[in-house]
Structure 1
């Protein structure tokens, strides 16, 4: 009788890969606000930044909290916040800074994206 060698399966590939702030960077103000919102909302410990079609200029930024990464995500740790970006969004986001202002007029989160050729006045959509 032949013996069958036990085959050890290869280790599972990680869901995400590590990125750095060259992809996206949160200012200290944005990081503080996101950490406070994560604690308040309790929807998950990651901030997901996505870019979708839509808005006045064709592409829109989307922010949401999520409890886990998806296969192919890029994880960037910035301003003490774990940020997830999918690989398609990463193409449009490289070099972007996310800031936050609590001013009554023109306050909120603001993206500064060096890849945007045009942006709407509210800062929520852009074109490349």
Structure 2
């Protein structure tokens, strides 16, 4: 069983003090959220109550072959890599980690071209919407 403490971001968010079995600790060299992205994720976690972890996955699809997927999950899965960045707990599977290494995630509230934006140094090409890329 994993111990828990309240997160500095929100008292509703539970932060594990020990890693669940089979989950590895990563660092911001894998994926780094800006303070703006971390703040938006924390607000969405508090509002949607779907889970305290942001799962980032890369799947086949989109106009350039690969696309980003994000969702909230209640806990990491065995084999996942957990990265704590910008007061946010991000989990990725090992396959996604290969494509994600060095990626920054930012958030903008701008009315035009606002939202989450990935900056992935591994992407050789990306579409204009920023949701699809190729390596």
TM-score (normalizing by structure 1) = 0.89
**60, 65, 69: which one pairs with 1:62?**
69
Return the index of the structure with the highest Cα Rg: 1
The answer to whether 1:22 aligns with 2:20 is no
CA distance in 2, matches of 1:53, 1:102: 28
Aligned residue pairs total: 116
The answer to whether 1:126 aligns with 2:133 is yes
TM alignment of 1:9-48, pairs within 5 A: 14-48=21-55
Runs ≥4 in structure 1, deviation > 4 angstroms? none
Q: CA RMSD in A?
A: 0.8
User: Which secondary structure does the structure 2 equivalent of 1:89 belong to?
Assistant: helix
CA distance in 1, matches of 2:115, 2:90: 18
**50, 55, 59: which one pairs with 1:52?**
59
- In the TM superposition, residue 14 of structure 1 has moved relative to its aligned partner by 1.5
* 2:121 aligned partner: 114
Which residues of structure 1 form unaligned runs of 5+?
1-12
CA distance in 2, matches of 1:15, 1:100: 31
Deviation string for 1:64-87 (max 9, x for gaps)? 000011110000000000000100
Which residues of structure 2 form unaligned runs of 5+?
1-19
TM-score (normalizing by structure 2) = 0.85
